[in-house]
Amino acid sequence: MDRASIGAERRPIPPFGLVGRRGASLRWTDEGVRPCASCGDNTGADQLNARIAAMPKSSATARARKIKLILFDVDGVLTDGKIWIFPAPGGAQSGAQQSVLEKSAQPGGQGGFGLRSTSLIEAKGFHAHDGTAISLARLAGIKTGIITKRISETVALRARDLKIDHVYQGIQDKASVVARILEKDGITAAEAAFVGDDVIDLPAMRKCGLAIAVKNARPEVKAEAHWATSHAGGDGAARDAVEYILKAQGKWKQAVEEYISERS
C-alpha cells in the first residue's frame, strides 16, 4: 500500500450530518470542516459554522430557577390599568386628618405623580389570586416588591395588607430602584425578576435576570420579555408569574400545602 493510501485511511471520517444542504460540499481538513471553494454553493457550511459558533441562551425556566426576588409594576400588572376617582365621603378632610395619599404624594424628585386632593379618592382593583400569589412566594422564601410611577394610598394599603417587602411609589427611573433593592438584599440581577406591561418598565426588566410580560402588555414589552403570563394584568397575571417561578424551583406544592395549613 502506498503512502498516499495510508494517509487516506488515517484521515478522520466526517461525522453524520456534515454534508451541506442544497448540494453544498464540505471538505474535511486537519483544522476541521471547511467549505470547498471549488464545489459551488457553500450554504451548508455557513449554516454549520453558525450553529457551532452560537452560544445557547438560558431558557426562561432556567432563569426562573435562580429567582429570589419578584418585582411588580402596579398599574396594568397588579391592576387592569384603570384608575377610578371618586368624591371623598363626608367632604374634604381637615389638615390634621391628612390622608396617607396626601402625605405620600409630596414631590420626591423621582418624577412620579399622584392625585393630590382631600376631596377626591383614587381607587384601584386588585385580584384575589394575585394576593394569594404574594403569600405563596413569601412561604417559598421569595421576596416581593412593587415599583410604580403613580402614588396611591390604595396601593400603600394593599402592600401593607400583603406584607410586600419593597414598596416604591412615585418612581420614574425604575431601573435605579431595582439596583438599590438588589444591593439592599445582597442578591445579583440574575436572582431578580420584574413583571411589567408598558415601555416604562423596560429598563427595570432589562436589569433583571427574568423579564416577564403580562398577557396584555404592549408589543415592545413582549418582544423583550423572557416569558409572558397567560392572564392579563389585574386578572391573575401576578399569580401566573409566581406559580411559574415556584414550579421551576420545585417549591409550588409545598408552598400551597403550607398556605392551606395556615388557614385551616
Query: What string of DSSP letters covers 90-126?
Result: TSPPPGGG--HHHHHTS--SSB-EE---SSEEEE---
- Whether the Cβ atoms of residue 217 and residue 227 lie closer than 8 Å to each other: no
Taking the model in full, what pTM does it have?
A: 0.71
- Write down the pLDDT at residue 19: 44
Q: Please write the tens of the pLDDT for every residue from 115-169.
A: 566 677 788 999 999 999 999 999 999 999 999 999 988 999 999 999 999 999 9
Distance between alpha carbon 55 and the CA centroid of its chain, in Å? 22
Question: Which of the four pLDDT bands, split at 50, 70 and 90, describes residue 44?
Answer: low
- Cα angle, residue 225 at apex, residues 65 and 56 outer, rounded to 5°: 60
Query: Cα angle at 73 between 194 and 137, to 5 degrees?
Result: 60
In this structure, the dihedral spanned by the alpha carbons of residues 189, 169, 196 and 249, taken in order and rounded to 10 degrees, is 50
Tell me the one-letter amino acid at 89.
Answer: P
The whole-angstrom distance between residue 68's C-alpha and the CA centroid of its chain comes to 12
